[in-house]
């Protein structure tokens, strides 16, 4: 099941249409949720309109609606337990006001049990030549980046799109013998980064030989690398945690940068903790 949070705003409408397209592509039912404490009258009107919008685009798509008298984060986290994906807009009003800018977003990102897609508005800018209509995924070689790679390759097969895998590194100056600074060799560090990315991608490419994969190693902060490659991309995918260049994705600066500055939808690929019911 694909779950989408709605509130009647323009960003919510973009999220709704994205979620409906995902549900249609994956052959999953769509669950539309409005969550807010107080009167249900507004929520009922919002979900009725949302369901009508989806039905006009995908008449055969199974749709169910729910008005939940609860905090938006609590409602989405509860729904994520049996969901394939949770989709939200990048901002909203009413029940989902400030969803991705305050405590609600952090709480949802920390506790969701499935991938979360933040649908950002399109930006009119020069696309990155290695990312046009492709799925961009951040790779750091840690186990926590595996859900992002799994999601990216699955999405690539479903949509017929290629993948652009990005690994970012920065050279640190550390203390060496007798307290003297140790300066990294940039050529060796670049070679290590290339090897790490190639080795990480190899097993996924073996499993999905039909997927077109481009690998990019960048010497820059991870957030900057992913935001840069998001220009013109179909979506950008990051793991919920990481190490090295992608430390703290979801709760740290990388996820915040993507959520606020990416030029395309952002997927935070959580490891599923329970089996999805559909």
Let me know: does 192 contact 185? Beta carbons within 8 Å: no
| Nearest Cα residue to 252 out of 107, 118, 101, 106 | 106
- 135-261 fold: Rossmann fold (3.40.50)
* Residue pair 238/254 in contact by the 8 Å Cβ criterion: yes
Chosen CATH of 2-119 out of 3.40.50.720, 3.30.465.10, 3.40.50.620, 3.30.950.10? 3.40.50.620
Residue with tokens 């508005």: 121
Helix ranges, 27-167 (H): 41-57, 72-80, 103-111, 146-159
The tokens of 123 are what? 């930006």
- Tell me if 2-119 shares its fold with 135-261: yes
Query: Tokens for 186?
Result: 């940039």
41-63 pLDDT per residue, tens = 999 999 999 999 999 999 999 99
Domain layout of the chain by residue ranges: 2-119, 135-261
CA 183 to mean position of chain CA atoms: 35
60-104 pLDDT, tens digit each: 999 999 999 998 889 999 999 999 999 988 765 544 544 444 455
pLDDT at 244: 45
pTM of the predicted protein model: 0.87
């Amino acid at each position: 099941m694909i779950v989408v949070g709605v509130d009647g705003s323009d960003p919510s409408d973009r999220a709704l249409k994205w979620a409906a397209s995902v549900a249609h592509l994956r052959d999953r039912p769509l669950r539309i949720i409005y969550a807010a404490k107080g009167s249900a009258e507004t929520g009922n009107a919002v979900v009725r309109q949302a369901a009508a919008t989806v039905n006009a685009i995908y008449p055969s798509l199974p749709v169910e609606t729910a008005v939940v008298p609860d905090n938006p984060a609590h409602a989405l986290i509860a729904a994520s337990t049996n969901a394939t994906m949770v989709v939200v807009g990048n901002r909203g009003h009413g029940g989902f006001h400030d969803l991705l800018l305050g405590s609600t977003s952090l709480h949802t990102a920390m506790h969701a049990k499935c991938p979360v897609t933040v649908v950002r508005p399109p930006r009119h800018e020069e696309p990155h030549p290695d990312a046009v209509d492709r799925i961009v995924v951040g790779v750091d070689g840690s186990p926590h980046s595996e859900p992002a790679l799994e999601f990216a390759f699955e999405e690539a097969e479903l949509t017929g799109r290629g993948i652009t895998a990005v690994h970012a590194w920065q050279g640190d100056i550390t203390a060496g013998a007798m307290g003297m600074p140790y300066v990294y060799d940039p050529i060796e560090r670049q070679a290590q980064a290339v090897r790490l990315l190639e080795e990480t991608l190899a097993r996924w490419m073996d499993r999905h030989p039909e997927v077109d994969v481009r690998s990019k190693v960048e010497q820059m902060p991870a957030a900057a690398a992913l935001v840069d490659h998001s220009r013109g991309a179909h979506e950008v995918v990051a793991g919920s945690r990481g190490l090295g260049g992608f430390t703290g994705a979801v709760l740290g600066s990388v996820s915040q940068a993507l959520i606020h500055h990416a030029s395309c939808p952002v997927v935070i690929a959580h490891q599923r903790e329970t089996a999805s019911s559909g």
